[in-house]
Amino acid sequence: MNLVKRLGISLGLLMAIPAVAQEAPPQLISINVAGAGFAGHVLPGKVGTNFFFPKDGYFAKWSDRGIKTVRFSFKWERLQPKAMGEFDPGYAALIDKALDQAGANGIHVLLDIHNYGRYYGDIVGDKVPMDAYRNLMERIALRWGNNPAVYAYDIMNEPHGGADKYWFEMAQTGIDAIRKYDRKNTLYIEGRRYSSAYHWPKYNDDLLNLKDPSDNIVYSAHMYVDQNSSGLYKEAIGEGSYMPDPMVGVNRLKPFVEWLERNGKRGHIGEFGLPGDHPRWLEILENTLTYLQQNCIPVSYWAAGEYWGKNYPVSIEPEKDGKDKPQWLIMKKYLGTGGCSAIGPKKVADKGTDSGKETSGPVNPTNPGKPETPASTSPAQPISSSKPATPVVTAPSVPNDSTETPPASNDANAEVPTAQPVASAPTATTPATNRSSAGQATSGSSGPTGPQWNGQREWAGKDAPAYQTIGSQ
């Protein structure tokens, strides 16, 4: 075979290889920056009243503390008020600005569509056509796929309830839509039942069959350590007999981590947070972060954001005087790569970073730097709704599960309530009606909503079950 033919074949093989970016060492600690998805019961809502974007200088504050990656949540309905339609120019421009500010401060962003497998409260795949979601993800990839601040997409936050039935099809649709315009950035795929880490193996084996032409998927689970895994943390330590097991976080993560190990997949904890008002909480945090570091699994702490209000128990925002929260004093020890060269689960020792021993405790703290400001992205162009036919894969049946998350208490008889169905949000043409809660605006009010957390089960005016209450907004 002559040289020209050999070169031609080699070139053809190279062109056939999927466009996968070289994976950078993972940042083990990142944060959720919340605000743009607040008050999902008020749509579209008003910026600065119902929902919020970071102020100028916000990302610089976290960059100075060593944060290099954030998970940034927003609402589909605000970005694309009409299915298959153009993006709302004001909301999209605010996302542009947030990305530019993050990138200017050396922070890379995981874009999080914070919608629970729903659009205006209706389930995608049921009342909402799958093509509507496809169109959203195509537009997101087209607009932000080349933004230098974007490194990944969390294609849908916490599918649950009726959305579980359609989750495999929806996830594959999201993958296909993004890869139409972006073959480089990583795809973070959550699981059924609110993406619970503890319940992951029972509900999500079929996600192993997802196909990504770039072979660049990370599975992303959520985990909280109060008694009912809700993230509400309504039980005060020391009251009665309540005392969480110091290994509760590790025990709730193990089913997910072991599932990843069995199947040779990469993992991430997209939400995990706890209060800082008792030494036991901080002990749990230390044990959990040590376990994640040993397995090279990054975690995005829930949550940062300036608009939670002073009583939100798991907020990581510094006090107004600049004093750091107790949680951050633990977390900052785990900044950087922790000796990991890639996202796990893989032991640090497996990578030759020590002499055959697992690393216990933080290593390799980061020394943050600030690259040049990234260029602004161009506005999205209209997208055709045409698509190739995609086979429908039936999701496994998801029975009403009686096997609950192990309690955070040492009391073996502690009751752990099951997840409850979630009330639908109002449709686009129907004004939101809701009960007023302390500090919140009622339907039709244009006044400030007040603190986004008031310590009640009823959050932001919406009576929702515990698990969704915090993790949902």
Domains of the chain: 23-351 (3.20.20.80)
> What pLDDT is recorded for position 238?
78
Which of helix, strand or coil describes residue 9?
helix
How does pLDDT run across 131-153, given as a tens digit for each residue? 999 999 999 999 999 999 999 99
Buried b (16+ CB within 10 A) or exposed e, 353-381: beeeeebeebbbebebeeeeebeebeebe
DSSP-derived secondary structure letter, 412? T
Share of the chain above pLDDT 90, in %: 63
What does the block give as tokens for 180?
């139409």
Whether the CA torsion 24, 272, 199, 162 is positive or negative: it is negative
Q: Kindly report whether the peptide bond that precedes residue 303 is cis, defined as omega within 30 degrees of 0.
A: yes
> What pLDDT is recorded for position 406?
52
Query: Of 228, 162, 216, 229, which Cα lies nearest the Cα of 192?
Result: 162
What does the block give as tokens for 12?
């053809």
Query: Could you tell me the pTM of the whole model?
Result: 0.76
Question: In sequence order, which residues have a C-beta less than 8 Å from that of residue 140 and are 6 or more positions away?
Answer: 111, 113, 153, 178
Cα 210 → chain centroid: 19
Query: Of 371, 282, 461, 302, which Cα lies nearest the Cα of 102?
Result: 371
DSSP-derived secondary structure letter, 192? H
What does the block give as tokens for 139?
């537009």
d(CA 393, CA 169): 6
* Residue 212: CB atoms within 10 Å: 18
CB contact at 8 A, 284 and 225:
yes
* Residue 89: CB atoms within 10 Å: 9
Share of the chain above pLDDT 70, in %: 68
Which of helix, strand or coil describes residue 405?
coil
Beta-carbon-side half-sphere exposure of residue 83 (alpha carbons within 13 Å)? 16
Is the model more confident about 352 or about 150? 150
> What pLDDT is recorded for position 322?
87
> What pLDDT is recorded for position 241?
75
What does the block give as tokens for 221?
């689970």
> What pLDDT is recorded for position 13?
35
> What pLDDT is recorded for position 11?
37
Lowest mean pLDDT among 29-43, 84-98, 362-376, 402-416: 362-376
d(CA 176, CA 174): 6
Q: Is the pLDDT of residue 349 over 90?
A: no
How does pLDDT run across 416-469, given as a tens digit for each residue? 222 222 233 333 332 222 222 222 222 232 333 334 444 432 223 223 332 232
Question: In sequence order, which residues have a C-beta less than 8 Å from that of residue 155 and are 6 or more positions away?
Answer: 113, 137, 171, 174, 175, 178, 187, 188, 189, 190
> What pLDDT is recorded for position 408?
54
Could you tell me the pLDDT band of residue 405, with boundaries at 50, 70 and 90? low
Q: Is the pLDDT of residue 193 over 60?
A: yes
CB contact at 8 A, 214 and 185:
no
> Could you tell me how many residues make up the chain?
473
